[in-house]
Each structure stands twice: as C-alpha cells, then as structure tokens.
Copies of this chain bind each other. A is one copy, B any other.
C-alpha cells in the first residue's frame, strides 16, 4: 500500500509541499511514502532522456494513491507540475492509481481550478479521480475547514485504493 505526493511549486519545501504532505498524512494516518518536490529536479524536467526523471515517474506510477499539488499560477496549475505530468504516458495510471487534485491559492476565486483544469489532465493519464478537487487557501491550509470536510468525504472514496484510509482518523 502506498500514498505518494508530487509538488509542483518552483520553490522547494513550499507551503504547497507542506499542505500536500499534510493531506497525504491525514488521509493515510502516517507520513507519505514518497514526496517528489519538483523544485529539486530543475532542468532535468526539460531533458526527456533524464534517467532521474524516468525513475521518479516509475515510482509514482507504482503508487496506488497520488496527491498532485500545485499553487495557483495564472488561474491554473503551474507549468512546473505540467512539465512532470507530460512525462507520464497517456493512460499509464489506468487500473492502478487514484489521483487527488490539490491546489492552493491566495483567495477563493480559482476554487474550481483543481476540478476543471487539473483533474481532466489526471484523467487523461488514466487515473481515477473519485474525490472532489481540493482547493485550500494558502494562508490557512492547516486549519482549513474545507480540508476537514473534504477528508471526511474522501476517505471512504479512497478506501478501495487504500484500505488504511477508511480506518484512520
């Protein structure tokens, strides 16, 4: 059983990173097995033959649940996150992976972005997205009431992918 996190913030160890890790931990009851901070990969993401990126893509594909997290840039996910998603084959997640679309923003105006922009890309990769896209305010990600209600609704939906999830509070 494994839950993984991919963080598409150009700044390393960003609030996006903290929030995504928190979501994974509160879902699974323990820290995520794998956290990929794309800020660490840098130019390798532009090198389509990079073995480092290939390895990380393989690890992510082996995960049963993945949180894909991005700050809101120009109303949508970052180019950095999409650069990584572009490296995953179309349909690669089919039958194996549930994906969670998580975005952080300064205000609520882009709350629909995880649902209408990020999720369709994850679906194209073959992922099942059984939970609502999650948008949380970056100023208060930890104490967000939106997060609490999302967790409560999402745990049973992820249970088939990750039996631990339903059992944990």
Contacts and interface: CB of A to CB of B under 8 A. Distances in A.
A95 B117 CA distance: 24
Interface residues of A, number: 54
B75 A121 contact: yes
Contacts of A130: 98, 128-130, 157
A135 to B, nearest CB: 8
Q: Which of A42, A45, A130 has the most CB of B within 10 A?
A: A130
Given A79-B82, A79-B86, A117-B117, A74 B110 contact: no
A125 interface: yes
A78 B86 contact: yes
A156 B64 CA distance: 14
A153 B127 CA distance: 10
Per CB-CB distance, the 3 closest pairs between chain A and chain B, nearest first, are A79-B83, A79-B82, A75-B124
Interface of A: 10, 42-43, 45-46, 48, 73-86, 88, 90, 94-95, 98, 107-113, 115-117, 119-121, 123-126, 128-133, 135, 153, 156-157, 159-160
19 contacts: A42-B46, A43-B46, A45-B79, A46-B80, A74-B85, A74-B121, A74-B124, A75-B123, A75-B124, A76-B121, A78-B82, A78-B86, A79-B84, A79-B85, A80-B83, A108-B109, A111-B111, A116-B116, A116-B120
